[in-house]
Amino acid sequence: MNILAIDTSNQVMSVAIQQNEQIIGEINTNLAKNHSVRLMPAIDQLMKDIGLMPDQLEQIVVAKGPGSFTGVRIGLSTAKTMAWALNIPIVGISSLEVLAYQGRFFNGLICPFFDARRGMVYSSTYQWQGTIMEEIVPESNISMEDLLNKLKAYDKPVLFLSPDMHIHQEAIERIVGINAMIPEPTYHLPRASHLILASKDKPIDSTHTLTPNYLRLAEAEAKWLEQQREKQANE
Amino acid sequence: MKKDTILLGIETSCDETAVAIVKNGREILANVVASQIDSHKRFGGVVPEIASRHHVEQITYVLEEARQQSNTVWEDIDGIAVTEGPGLVGALLVGVNAAKALAFAKQKPLIGVHHIAGHIYANRLEKEFEFPLLALIVSGGHTELVLMKSHGAYELIGETRDDAAGEAYDKVARMLQLPYPGGPQIDRLAELGEEAIDFPRAWLEQNSYDFSFSGLKSSVINTIHNAKQRGKELRKEDIAASFQASVIDVLTTKTVRAAKEFDVKQVIIAGGVAANRGLRSALEAEFAKTSIPLLIPPLNLCTDNAAMIAAAGTIAFEQGRRSGLELNARPSLLLK
Ligand SMILES: [Zn+2]
């Protein structure tokens, strides 16, 4: 089966193709450059290198967030429209889950996160049970302090994975202490090939209803809801 | 015999997710618009992040609906046209990336289209162009006079230096505490009111075809404010009528003057504000005094839609213009 995987949800842009159970090509960049400009040419290049025509694709896997709202939408607009046009199945995978695959052989807790500004992160925590990656702490948009205190209480080694490590490394070491494992930079970058791996035991999504996993309301909406709550409280 | 050209168009520059399929730039085979107006109402205006979220949720539904309406197969489609700008960047990005995915998946040419070129070409879905022609584009984001001497060639002869006409409408509507979107509300009230207040007209330099509405807007604010301080309540209907009279006076006068100066064969009105009844009847009355035909498209083609993008894209396609897969959203794209 020919599978195309796309991740543009954060600074890393990654595209991979699997054929006959083998990853035969992957393009990765870790650049703060416009994903919208570079994504389609990267897919085109990879397909040409492999000698694959678009109508030979049989499945698409896409990272659906959390991450940059715009980045997530670039990936989903592209993946959904391709899946619709080619009439092939699509699977959406959490961007945190795919990053956690970089800790495939770690025995303790695995905590991938993306910076969400003002001390907040998008994060979740996993642990491998044999060949299954189990979710220990569900995905949330949480303050880093709260997250680290929660993880500290487990009193277990925690592998932290994040392209935004430089922002939070100090807090991790301060709060989690010797239980905190922070690997080399290579391991902090999500890879589209892992999206395909993660999609294996996942159900097929409906192309029309697959939506971004923002983990956060639009600011205007959050404010509006807050106002409604205040209004109700005053009544 | 020349084969028909059939283009699929995508438009997501603001708050409508739209897909259309158009034959030869003139015949609509499908025209689907998913409006988000209800979800932006509570915020009193379009919220870019929310618009972008809706677009990504709607895009494949709208594509599907358009394909079913059109009764075409992929082999019939000669290319994919998409609004590349101007507009809200996050909103544009959804359409641009969907268009690129479609062009790649189906191996079709891709054509980036300027949103305003689309508004102008909405008229060609009704009536063939005769050059030179003059187009007045009035919408929430635009107030422009464009001269065209041939297909695909746009000469900007006048534009707003501050607020767009539609923007001024929305702001005045907000002051009058009218629900969003304010334009149609003011138009409705204006019909019931008298032009009791003499609001200023911004004519700018003698030969200028540019517009300015911020002075008018301030004048409306001050008038309401001063009346309130003197304990006087002005009739909303009269404010609306007087405000609208000022806007229409400037738009109409400058359009008629430009039409005469450039000796045009057609005058085209485009954009959402073209639905304004006051503006329509003023323009109709003025152009009835001339021999220049005035074209105003039906309401569903005045407001944002994708048929106009496919129509404008058809001309670009026939002129051999193509976009690459690196096509990007360009929020402040100039009309050239
Ligand atoms: Zn428009």
Residue B1 scores a pLDDT above 80: no
Q: What is the mean pLDDT of residues B225-243?
A: 92
Predicted pLDDT of residue A177: 95
Predicted pLDDT of residue B245: 95
In a domain, B33, yes or no: yes
Length of chain B: 336
Question: How many Cβ atoms are within 10 Å of A206's Cβ, its own excluded?
Answer: 10
Residue B43 with chain A: CB contacts under 8 Å: 220, 224
3-state secondary structure (DSSP) of residue B127: coil
Q: What is the mean pLDDT of residues B43-72?
A: 94
Torsion of CA A211, A214, A219, A221, to 10 degrees: 40
In this structure, the answer to whether residues A120 and A144 fall within a common structural domain is yes
The answer to whether A5 and A61 have CB atoms below 8 angstroms apart is: yes
Q: Among A72, A80, A87, A214, which would you mutate to test the B interface (most chain B Cβ atoms within 10 Å of its Cβ)?
A: A80
Q: What is the largest CA-CA distance in chain A?
A: 66
Angle between helices B236-261 and B182-192 (to 10 degrees): 100
Q: Which of A36, A73, A207 sits opposite B52 (nearest CB)?
A: A73
Question: Which residue, chain included where needed, has tokens 């503006």?
Answer: B279
pLDDT digits (tens, 9 = 90+) for A141-180: 999 999 999 999 999 999 999 999 999 999 999 999 999 9
Angle between helices A165-176 and A144-154 (to 10 degrees): 40
In this structure, the answer to whether residues A178 and A210 fall within a common structural domain is no
Q: How many angstroms does the Cα of residue B97 sit away from the middle of ligand 1?
A: 19
Predicted pLDDT of residue B39: 83
Q: What is the mean pLDDT of residues B192-212?
A: 93
Report the side by side order of strands in the sheet with B79-85: B27-35, B16-23, B6-11, B79-85, B110-114
Cβ <8 Å between A43 and B104: yes
Residue B52 scores a pLDDT above 60: yes
Task: Please tell me whether the overall predicted TM-score, pTM, comes out greater than 0.90 for this model.
Answer: yes
In a domain, B180, yes or no: yes
pLDDT digits (tens, 9 = 90+) for B74-112: 999 999 999 999 999 999 999 999 999 999 999 999 999
Predicted pLDDT of residue B42: 85
Determine the residue type at B165: A
The answer to whether A84 and A55 have CB atoms below 8 angstroms apart is: no
| Residue A121 lies in domain | 96-188
Q: Residue B50 corresponds to which tokens in the numbers above?
A: 């929310």
pLDDT digits (tens, 9 = 90+) for B276-288: 999 999 999 999 9
Q: Which of residues 51-90 of B touch A (CB under 8 A)?
A: 52-53, 55-57, 59-61, 63-64, 74, 89-90
In this structure, the answer to whether residues A82 and A105 fall within a common structural domain is no
pLDDT band at A118 (very low <50, low <70, confident <90, very high): very high
In this structure, the answer to whether residues A54 and A77 fall within a common structural domain is yes
Peptide bond into B298 cis (omega under 30): no
**C-alpha radius of gyration, chain A, whole number:** 19
Q: Which of B273, B278, B277, B282 is nearest to B254 (CA)?
A: B282
- As beta bridge partners, residue A181 has A159
- Rounded Cα gap, residues B170 and B186, in angstroms: 9
Q: How many angstroms does the Cα of residue B228 sit away from the middle of ligand 1?
A: 36
In this structure, the answer to whether residues A49 and A117 fall within a common structural domain is no
pLDDT band at B293 (very low <50, low <70, confident <90, very high): very high
Q: Is B198 on the interface with A (CB under 8 A)?
A: no
**CATH number, domain containing residue A167:** 3.30.420.40
Residue B44 scores a pLDDT above 90: no
Q: How many angstroms does the Cα of residue B21 sit away from the middle of ligand 1?
A: 18
pLDDT digits (tens, 9 = 90+) for A25-52: 999 999 988 999 999 999 999 999 999 9
Instruction: Classify residue A150 by burial, with Cβ atoms within 10 Å: 0-12, 13-18, 19+.
Output: middle
Predicted pLDDT of residue A54: 98
pLDDT digits (tens, 9 = 90+) for B259-271: 999 999 999 999 8
Q: Output the CA torsion sign for B106, B108, B111, B115.
A: negative
Cβ <8 Å between B98 and A74: no
Q: Which of A69, A73, A67 is nearest to A112 (CA)?
A: A67
Predicted pLDDT of residue A235: 72
Residue B166 scores a pLDDT above 80: yes
- Rounded Cα gap, residues B236 and B182, in angstroms: 13
pLDDT band at B2 (very low <50, low <70, confident <90, very high): low
In this structure, the answer to whether residues B115 and B240 fall within a common structural domain is no
What is the full DSSP assignment across B218-248?
Answer: HHHHHHHHHHHHTT----HHHHHHHHHHHHH
In this structure, the answer to whether residues A178 and A126 fall within a common structural domain is yes
Q: What is the mean pLDDT of residues A202-212?
A: 96
Using an 8 Å CB-CB cutoff, list residues of chain A that contact chain B: 34, 36-41, 43-44, 53-55, 69-70, 73-74, 76-82, 84-86, 207-208, 211-212, 214, 218-221, 224
**C-alpha radius of gyration, chain B, whole number:** 20
Q: Residue A110 corresponds to which tokens in the numbers above?
A: 């695995």
ipTM of predicted assembly, 2 dp: 0.96
| Residue B103 lies in domain | 6-121+302-318
pLDDT band at B182 (very low <50, low <70, confident <90, very high): confident
Average pLDDT, chain B: 94
In a domain, B327, yes or no: no
How many structural domains is chain B composed of?
2
Residue A109 scores a pLDDT above 80: yes
In this structure, the answer to whether residues A91 and A115 fall within a common structural domain is no
